[in-house]
Chain A
Amino acid sequence: MAQWQEVQQLPPTHLERVHQLYTNAALPMTVRQSLADWIEDQDWQQAAEPFSSHARMLFHSLLTLLGEQLGSLGPGDEDFMLKHNLRKARIDLQAAFEEHPENFANLVANLLQEERCILRRAQAKGQVEAPPAPSTAPQSSQEREIQQRLAEFRTALQEAERAFRHMEDLQDTFDFSYKMYYLPGQDHSHDPQYAQHVQALQAKLQSLDRQRREVVAQIQQLLGRSETLRDFLQQELSAWRERQQRSCLGAPTDTCLLQLQGWFTALGEGLFQLLQLLRAVGELRQKVTYEQDPLQSELPLLEKRLQEQLTCLLQSAFVVEQQPCMPNTPKRPLVLRTANKFCTRARLLVRLHDRNHRMEANIHIDRDPPKTRGFRKFNILTSSSKTVLVGDSPREGLVCDFQYLTLKEQKGGGSGKGSRGSNEGPLAVTEELHLITFTLAYAYCGLELKLETSTLPFVIISNNNQLSSAWASVLWFNMLSPNPKDQQFFSTPPPAPWPRLAEVLSWQFQSIAERGLSREHLQMLAEKLFGSKPSPESALPWTKFSKDGAAGFSFWAWLDGILALLHDHLKQLWKDGLILGFVSRKQEKKLLKVKRSGTFLIRFSESMLGGVTCTWVEHPESGPPAFRAVVPYTAAELASLALPDIIRDYQLLAEENIPENPLLFLYPDTARDEAFGPYYSQRHEGILTKKKEYLNQRLIRVSSRQPLSPVCCGCATHMSRGATVGSPGQCPGVIGHCAPLPAVSSPPMAPRCSAVSWGERRVVTSPSSTEPRPSNNEGTRWEREGAMWRDDVTQRSVMSR
């Protein structure tokens, strides 16, 4: 918006200042108003300098323009006063400044500057008064700063261009006069006019020299400011890189590049414009040069500095927008499987290109492979080059998108499949890091560059069962590597500080099951890893994370098992916070002890991969509370019956042979059906009315009650009693919908397990314990025993309807 327009829109308090400014000014506001655009377009500052011929020219142009303005005004009454004012102003100005037009130039220059001051003050105040402008997204101060600096850069560039045009004018006049009047070799000693001409020529050269230095200073200033701006953009870009790395690990962050692309393009445009300006200045120097010409020494320097800045900007603007990722494992990028297709995409954030120049991007895998023994080599099977295309909409950038890439391992000559053993490297396959490098031959405005960027290191596997440990490597690398290109990272992997690891682990749960880990969860994990008192300085070594484990599997394998279970079967429950999940036994007892009987919680098994279990509390009439836990359910069980249904129908056969569901209240205190109601699979109530060939069946899970006290032992009577338990009449609550059926008793052969016979419609469980157990470590024992119990009956439960 033109300055005068902005001034007119100022709030009253500031407008008052403008009026004050013009009250005593020799330039009447009428003139300012009627010639606003023209006045703002001229370089008054320049003209205000002593001995400037420019001032006279501007002054006379102004008077002429005023005259034209007067002529163009109609005879109507409404213009009468305006006409009068303009005519008066014209006469006054002519009288006042005819002799010293440079004073007039100075006056106008100062007035314009004051106006700008008032505007700036008003804007600053406006920002304070109304801080959050109604913008779509709240901008950070850094973003505002960048926007503002970009705007300033553009203004300064325009000013430099104006100064350049002025220099061009000065040079033309000088050149003309020089050719006209400067006639060396002739005797002019008697020609006073010649001396005068030479003097004038000298003055013209002076002002040209001054203008040249001015232009040089302006360009220097511009370069200085653009360095700061570039620093800012660089900071934003590294923040983006960090965000991208985090988002690869599953963190919920925004990795959109549009804003950065806008900024980089704007700065790139400005710098290229400056480059062209510099070249134009160079052409002027070709035409006229003199001793101590500032352009002589400064131009090469400026051009080098500018080119260096452009190079630096463009180099950093070439980024990998999408890290290599297989489409079938979108949550786990940077793990690639041979012969599986994957895609990756790079983008040049400076959206400037020459349409006549075909830009080709190439990719290479492991251009400088580390010199480790046994480092596998791969080929990219599909085409490794691509022409960069640009769409017309500003949202599309200069993108090279490689969509259907596949990798194939290079086999050494003659070495067959089994030969790997001999040249096995020190690193496992899943610790071997590979890189893809993008190169782009860029050319624009005579600047030719080879741009390069690399993906984050990725792991190449050949079998899906390596996916989990490969992902562990990716996590570890991106969490800890200070150098994003370090392919040797796993030769000495650093330990992970617990706070950092905790955050990354939480992201895993966030990205796979849409709910991260709570403080309590992390507390439990920390205790599991570091013992009773984890400190913030605790750090976990890589081997302890991914390799060793007391239970026969590593910490990560355990966690990944849980992640898989959550993803496949328990996503909704986890998301809604119904699964307490990570609770240590100690903590579990502490929590449940104070709750009423039948309060239960759902936690993950610590002793097996991918298991989930319920623990509940029972308060016997005398003695300490007892805690019971059922054998962990794994994916195999959950595949046939969802956990909410298991909980709903779970049966425990009591000593008195009354099956009952011990799971009454979800910790802390929600009635079972209230908590899980929404997740139960639908019961087909109306089915009985239909005539059907078969009765419906429903799976339920049943356990038999263990004796609460060590008194009870697995005697034969017990067993036989157990075996005859569930007759339909006795437990209508449990299988109330069942049609009355003859009771089937199972052969009391398996002493500790529920007897099941396929095809029968009745579940029977027998009392399980055959040996006395001390009550103090019931939980563990129970679980262990449960596991045994589970072993022999994978098809232990039967449905009936």
Chain B
Amino acid sequence: MSQRGRHQESKTKLEISPSETMKAEEENYKEEDKEPKSEDWRPPSVFGAADLKNRAVGLYNIGQTCCLNSLLQVFFMNIHFTKILRRISVPVCGTQKKNNVPYQMLLLLEEMQRGKQKAVSPRELAICLLAHRVTMFVQYDAAQLFLTLWNLLKKQMKNPELVEKLSDLYTIGVQEHLACQICSSETKRNSSMLTLPVPLLDSGFYMLKTLEECLQCFFHPEELTGHNMCFCEHCGKKTPFRQCVKLVHLPQTLTIHLKRFCFGRSAYIHKISSCLPFPQDLDFNEVLTEQQCQAYDSEKAAWQYELFAVVAHSGSTSCGHYCAYIRSLTECKWYCFNDSLVEQVSWDDVKSTYGHSDLSWGQTAYLLFYMKKHPQ
């Protein structure tokens, strides 16, 4: 949902792209690993103000940065994430410091937690991101920016243990099944995803009623026939396939991306603003069937989630505003982060992001972050 209005071609494409990026990053990482590390040197401020409370502090909008601000707040209010962030190693030289995203994020976090200011400007971080081709004054799609940010973080965290922790914290494991309907040969592939991109319309273009239905629809097997037929090696020709995704693993912080856009006539994308309620408590075992999961019982037992944050968008696909509703994990209260303004709100306010078919410019939830109730 941005000026770029990224086309989300097909479900398959979307799932693969993050995993591919990750693979590429892992390779990058190995190279970087050989470089000498400045181990365990941390700025004194990390120790000094090791305030683990993650107070709610605003971030100034410094030019269309509402999307970045909202995502940063979601990162910073997640104590599981900040625990990792606080352990990063500090780059040695000045330019490296300036261009290191995790380090700049840590500095920003420290600044937010240290001062008694109501808001802090993310200027340095923005400049740092600029060096990684994340420009300012451009409206971003939050899901896309989240992926970019996360990849940058992962790429630049030098410590393999932390990288693993970061992956564990956010990545979802799925298994893709592709079965030829004629010779019933099946190919399986494990992949990981950063977000679950769930559709709001079912295959018949009807509005889905709840988040649970959206999730079910996402994991519903899809018949690939006609134009979508795939080449089967056994049959030696294009055959109808049955494609499905099975859930293997769910992370501590689960990100769900509501695909609130659809293509109208002549490829014009418009936003779906209709109401989609999402629960505060989400139990995947109740949502998915046995066949839709590919996990051990111990893994499944931990699939109990509660809502942690909502990144909400108001406006149209071409221009709009983001704000974040986040439930403070230490205080158990909801906050609304609207750039420099932070306000304590109630669950009813969060519910107002369900959407409303009469309010096409109103707030609608776009990214949902769920947190595991009982961390493993």
Contact = CB atoms under 8 A, between A and B. Distances in A.
Interface stretch (B177-185, B198-206, B252-260, B339-347): B339-347
A304 B338 contact: no
Interface stretch (A226-234, A589-597, A788-796): A226-234
B40 interface: no
A214 B340 contact: yes
A590 to B, nearest CB: 49
A308 B348 contact: no
Interface in B123-170: 137
B82 interface: no
B339 A301 contact: no
B122 interface: no
A228 B346 CA distance: 10
A252 interface: no
Given A210-B60, A213-B61, A294-B61, A220 B323 contact: yes
A312 B336 CA distance: 23
Given A305-B314, A312-B358, A224 B61 contact: no
A224 B358 contact: no
Nearest to A145: B348
B328 interface: no
A296 to B, nearest CB: 11
Contacts of B336: 221, 224
Given A305-B314, A308-B361, A221 B349 contact: no
B352 interface: yes
A110 B116 contact: yes
Given A218-B341, A224-B349, A213 B60 contact: yes
B64 A297 contact: yes
Nearest to B312: A224
A308 B359 CA distance: 6
Contacts of A292: 63, 137
A362 interface: no
A300 B319 CA distance: 10
A217 B116 contact: no
B351 interface: yes
B348 A231 contact: yes
A52 interface: no
B348 A228 contact: yes
Nearest to A294: B61
A305 B323 CA distance: 15
Nearest to A232: B348
A52 to B, nearest CB: 12
Q: Is the interface of A mostly helix, strand, loop or mixed?
A: helix
Contacts of A106: 116
With most chain A CB atoms within 10 A of its CB, the pick from B61, B63, B319, B363 is B61
A224 B351 contact: no
A297 B346 CA distance: 29
A223 B363 CA distance: 9
A572 B319 CA distance: 69
A45 interface: yes
A294 B340 CA distance: 14
Contacts of B60: 210, 213
A224 B363 contact: yes
A303 B247 CA distance: 43
A85 interface: no
B313 to A, nearest CB: 11
A213 B64 CA distance: 10
B91 interface: no
A298 interface: yes
Contact of A217 (B61, B314, B359, B360): B61
Given A217-B339, A298-B321, A308 B362 contact: yes
A26 to B, nearest CB: 15
A595 to B, nearest CB: 57
B361 A301 contact: yes
A309 interface: yes
A301 B349 contact: no
B5 interface: no
A298 to B, nearest CB: 7
A214 B339 CA distance: 8
A503 B232 CA distance: 64
B338 A305 contact: no
A225 interface: yes
Contacts of B102: none
Contact of A297 (B116, B319, B345): B319
A221 B359 contact: no
Contacts of A298: 321
A498 B360 CA distance: 41
Contacts of A49: 117
Contacts of A218: 341
A305 B64 contact: no
B61 A227 contact: no
Contacts of B345: 225, 228
Given A213-B60, A224-B323, A45 B359 contact: no
A213 B319 contact: no
B42 to A, nearest CB: 27
B7 interface: no
A220 B321 contact: yes
B30 interface: no
Contacts of B240: none
Interface string B215-235: 000000000000000000000
A294 B71 CA distance: 20
Contacts of A232: 348
Name the residue among B319, B320, B321, B323 with the largest chain A CB count within 10 angstroms: B321
Nearest to A305: B361
B352 A228 contact: yes
Interface in B341-376: 341, 343, 345-346, 348-349, 351-352, 356, 358-363
Contacts of B61: 213, 216-217, 294
Contact of B315 (A216, A225, A305): A305
Nearest to A235: B348
A300 B361 CA distance: 11
A308 B60 CA distance: 27
B37 interface: no
Contacts of B346: 228
Contact of B341 (A221, A231, A304, A312): A221
B306 to A, nearest CB: 21
Given A228-B349, A232-B348, A294-B61, A221 B361 contact: no
24 contacts: A49-B117, A110-B116, A213-B61, A217-B61, A217-B340, A217-B341, A218-B341, A220-B321, A220-B338, A221-B336, A224-B349, A225-B343, A225-B345, A227-B352, A227-B362, A228-B351, A231-B352, A292-B63, A292-B137, A301-B315, A305-B315, A305-B362, A308-B358, A308-B359
Given A214-B341, A227-B352, A297-B319, 14 more contacts: A213-B339, A217-B340, A218-B341, A220-B314, A220-B341, A221-B341, A224-B314, A227-B362, A228-B348, A228-B349, A231-B351, A301-B314, A301-B315, A308-B358
